């Protein structure tokens, strides 16, 4: 190992111990959320890691290292979304006090990202599903816990510059109910979570008065963002972003068990899902332009991806790989065309992996090429 690398690691380790030691100018630039989004480029998810409810390595990935983040930067990504679990690291259930060592570890990983001059987004991810009960009867209790957690997170990071963004939640929905047509009650309660998040962060002061914040639609669903998302009141104008996710069509992108579809789009030489092709992408992303990006409100495409099907062989596998790379390139390109910031979902597992978390090698160069240099 070269001496400069050793020095970098040492600096990052010590900088992760206290938020005020991150060595960054705490001043926020006087730019809007849309202007910041235009600087964020293409993003990557550090999935199935800090959000693993059994601990950082409990879902099969190793501890995050500076070398991994450097590899992601070298591949061309300029932003990293860091899903995080918090409730399992609470030492006092009455006050929702977060364990100090865990807060420092999250800070250390954030510092790895900032040391590479990248943007970082941290959130409250699934977190054992404690937010997934958007009923009026649970609204007050969930909002109290949400406020307590975000107050602590925001306080710890309040001196960080605007390359660090906070995202209030993830795919909030009624647990085990993935319907895209939820009751109005669920939508209303989920909207209240966004307002609580904004209020809690702004109340901590410091750089958080102007920090760029990311709010979610119910289920991070595009249609529900278009029809039902209420943008929270914010004392600081033009500092909010919207987050949605995209895994359409399900039969190609997410369905784990056969029968599933292995090809997609105009490059397919075999059957494709009857819906969810290129025209669907354009239609869905156009909604985000009409509702948000065309009005100066940026949209984060916080997750997108498609399962890799290693059970295929021969020509079937080659056709699948070609269509999968085309799909991921198309989604990335379309997101940018419609003013969104795309974040590829990499969970470190064979189905979505892009970077080997130990060797830092790129597992699917064709996918990376499509994401970075899509040509239709």
Look at residue 149 and tell me whether its pLDDT is greater than 80.
yes
pLDDT at residue 26, rounded to an integer = 59
Q: Provide the domain count of the chain.
A: 1
Query: Across residues 109-122, what is the average pLDDT?
Result: 99
In sign, the C-alpha dihedral spanning 11, 15, 21, 27 is positive
How much is the pTM? 0.93
Q: How many CB atoms lie within 10 A of CB 355?
A: 22
Q: What angle do helix axes 365-372 and 314-337 make, rounded to 10 degrees? A: 20
Q: For the chain, what is the mean pLDDT? A: 94
Q: Distance between CA atoms of 283 and 287, rounded to whole angstroms? A: 7
Look at residue 110 and tell me whether its pLDDT is greater than 80.
yes
pLDDT at residue 124, rounded to an integer = 99
Q: Distance between CA atoms of 153 and 304, rounded to whole angstroms? A: 26
Q: Residue 275 belongs to a domain with what CATH number?
A: 3.20.20.80
| Residue recorded with tokens 């102007």 | 210
Give 376 or 13, the one with higher predicted confidence: 376
Give kind and range of the element (H or E) at residue 342.
strand 340-344
Strand pairing report for 119-123 and 164-167 = parallel
| Residues in contact with 283: Cβ distance below 8 Å, sequence separation at least 6, in sequence order | none
pLDDT over 70 for what percent of the chain? 93
Residue length of the chain: 376
Dihedrals φ, ψ of 301, to 5°? -85, 85
Dihedrals φ, ψ of 149, to 5°? -70, -45
Look at residue 43 and tell me whether its pLDDT is greater than 70.
yes
- The CA-atom distances, in angstroms, between 209 and each of 119, 199, 212, 286, 350 are 18, 10, 9, 31, 41
Q: What angle do helix axes 66-74 and 100-115 make, rounded to 10 degrees? A: 30
pLDDT over 90 for what percent of the chain? 92
For residue range 342-369, what is the model confidence (pLDDT) as tens digits? 999 999 999 999 999 999 999 999 999 9
Q: Distance between CA atoms of 118 and 78, rounded to whole angstroms? A: 5
Q: How many CB atoms lie within 10 A of CB 67?
A: 16
pLDDT at residue 41, rounded to an integer = 99
Query: Across residues 159-182, what is the average pLDDT?
Result: 97
Q: Distance between CA atoms of 203 and 207, rounded to whole angstroms? A: 11
Closest Cα partner for 292 from 241, 355, 250?
Answer: 241
Look at residue 260 and tell me whether its pLDDT is greater than 80.
yes
Look at residue 16 and tell me whether its pLDDT is greater than 80.
no
Query: Across residues 10-33, what is the average pLDDT?
Result: 57
Closest Cα partner for 146 from 201, 209, 101?
Answer: 201
Give me the active site residues, please: 171, 303
Look at residue 25 and tell me whether its pLDDT is greater than 70.
no
pLDDT at residue 22, rounded to an integer = 53
The DSSP call for residue 355 is B
Look at residue 258 and tell me whether its pLDDT is greater than 60.
yes
pLDDT band for 335, please (50, 70, 90 cuts). Answer: very high
pLDDT at residue 200, rounded to an integer = 99
Look at residue 6 and tell me whether its pLDDT is greater than 80.
no
**Structural domain range at position 138:** 3-372
Query: Across residues 266-289, what is the average pLDDT?
Result: 99
pLDDT at residue 17, rounded to an integer = 38
Burial of 238 (0-12, 13-18, 19+ CB in 10 A): middle
Query: Across residues 1-24, what is the average pLDDT?
Result: 38
Give 1 or 346, the one with higher predicted confidence: 346
Look at residue 95 and tell me whether its pLDDT is greater than 50.
yes
């Amino acid at each position: 190992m070269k001496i400069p690398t050793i020095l970098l690691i040492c600096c990052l380790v010590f900088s992760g111990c206290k938020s005020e030691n991150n060595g960054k100018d705490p001043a926020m630039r006087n730019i809007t959320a849309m202007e910041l989004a235009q600087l964020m480029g293409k993003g990557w998810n550090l999935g199935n890691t800090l959000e693993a409810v059994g601990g950082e390595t409990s879902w099969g990935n190793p501890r995050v290292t500076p070398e991994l983040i450097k590899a992601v930067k070298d591949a061309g990504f300029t932003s990293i979304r860091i899903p995080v679990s918090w409730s399992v690291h609470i030492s006092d259930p009455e006050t929702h006090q977060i364990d100090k060592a865990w807060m420092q570890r999250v800070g250390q990983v954030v510092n790895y990202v900032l040391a590479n001059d990248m943007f970082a987004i941290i959130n409250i991810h699934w977190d054992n599903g404690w937010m997934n009960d958007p009923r009026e009867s649970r609204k007050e209790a969930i909002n109290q816990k949400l406020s307590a957690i975000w107050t602590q997170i925001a306080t710890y990071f309040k001196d960080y510059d605007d390359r660090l963004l906070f995202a209030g939640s993830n795919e909030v929905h009624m647990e085990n109910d993935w319907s895209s047509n939820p009751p109005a009650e669920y939508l209303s309660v989920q909207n209240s979570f966004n307002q609580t998040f904004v209020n809690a962060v702004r109340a901590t002061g410091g750089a958080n008065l102007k920090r760029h914040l990311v709010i979610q639609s119910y289920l991070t669903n595009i249609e529900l963002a278009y029809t039902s998302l209420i943008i929270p009141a914010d004392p600081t104008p033009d500092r909010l972003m919207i987050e949605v996710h995209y895994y359409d069509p399900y039969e190609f992108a997410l369905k784990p068990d056969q029968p599933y579809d292995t090809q997609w789009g105009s490059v397919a030489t075999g059957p494709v899902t009857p819906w969810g092709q290129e025209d669907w992408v354009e239609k869905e992303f156009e909604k985000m332009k009409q509702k948000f990006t065309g009005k100066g409100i940026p949209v984060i495409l916080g997750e997108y991806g498609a399962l890799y099907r290693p059970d295929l062989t021969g020509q079937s596998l080659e056709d699948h790989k070609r269509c999968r790379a085309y799909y991921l390139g198309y989604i990335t390109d379309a997101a940018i065309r419609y003013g969104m910031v795309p974040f590829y979902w990499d969970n470190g597992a064979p189905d979505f992996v892009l970077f080997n978390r130990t060797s830092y090698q790129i597992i699917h160069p064709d996918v990376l090429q499509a994401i970075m240099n899509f040509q239709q």
